[in-house]
């Protein structure tokens, strides 16, 4: 079955999916932005489980339970910090999406939602991220038969439009 891809605008912490993806830092220590919102909504047990994971490399992903979130799991990925685009940023961002899909598939999940990884504090240009994210997800889904639905959850309508354009450009 082909997975359905959707671009929505909203607060990712409210989504009732198998897993939401977190835009975390390498220590998995919690922070601001979507990371802070996810930890606040999940409760302190998420922080405890994260600290036991021994961090996460940039471009990799690790899974925890979702605790008080509607989502059953959180897949924590660490996006690249933007340093001008010549330091492997695009490849590392693609790796975040690919690894998150792989971790979801290993855990037999069927629905997941991504935030716009790296486009906040980490400074990845908002126009450049959606085509990379959509292409990486589509490629990874070829090897993830359990996954039936993927949501790209933007925080602004402007970002949502960029994702809708990317979905049209990567059929
Ligand atoms: N739901 C959906 N999207 C959101 C939400 C939300 N509740 N809140 C923010 N966004 P950022 P990064 C969007 O800064 O750039 C943390 O401190 C936001 O508009 O959260 O990967 C970590 O600990 C933006 O488009 O993540 C790291 O240190 C997107 O989420 C660092 O920030 C990502 O912005 C990671 O930076």
Residue nearest (by alpha carbon) to ligand 1 atom 12:
118
Give the fold, CATH level 3, of 4-169: 3.40.220
Q: Is the CB of 12 under 6 A from ligand 1?
A: yes
Domain boundaries, the chain: 4-169
The dihedral of CA 92, 143, 114, 164: what is its sign?
positive
Cα angle: 162, vertex 129, 84; to 5 degrees: 130
What is the pLDDT, as a whole number, of residue 3? 82
**pLDDT tens readout for residues 3-59:** 899 999 999 999 999 999 999 999 999 999 999 999 999 999 999 999 999 999 999
**pLDDT tens readout for residues 75-88:** 999 999 999 999 99
- Give the E-state strand segments of the chain in sequence order: 4-9, 19-23, 61-65, 73-77, 111-114, 149-154
Write out the catalytic residue numbers. 35
Q: Is the CB of 120 under 6 A from ligand 1?
A: yes
Backbone dihedral angles phi then psi of residue 95, each to the nearest 5 degrees: -60, -35
């Amino acid at each position: 079955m082909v997975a359905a891809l959707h671009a929505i605008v909203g607060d990712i912490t409210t989504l009732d999916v198998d897993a939401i993806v977190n835009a975390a830092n390498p220590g998995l220590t919690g922070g601001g932005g979507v990371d802070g919102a996810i930890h606040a909504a999940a409760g302190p047990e998420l922080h405890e489980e994260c600290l036991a994971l021994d961090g996460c490399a940039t471009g990799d992903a690790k899974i925890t339970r979702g605790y008080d979130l509607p989502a059953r799991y959180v897949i924590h990925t660490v996006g690249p910090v933007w340093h001008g685009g010549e330091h492997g940023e695009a490849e590392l961002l693609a790796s975040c999406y690919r690894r998150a899909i792989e971790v979801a598939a290993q855990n037999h999940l069927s629905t997941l939602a991504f935030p716009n990884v790296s486009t906040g504090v980490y400074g990845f240009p908002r126009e450049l991220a959606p085509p990379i994210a959509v292409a990486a997800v589509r490629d990874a889904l070829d090897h993830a038969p359990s996954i039936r639905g993927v949501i790209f959850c933007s925080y602004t309508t402007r970002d949502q439009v960029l994702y809708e354009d990317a979905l049209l450009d990567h059929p």
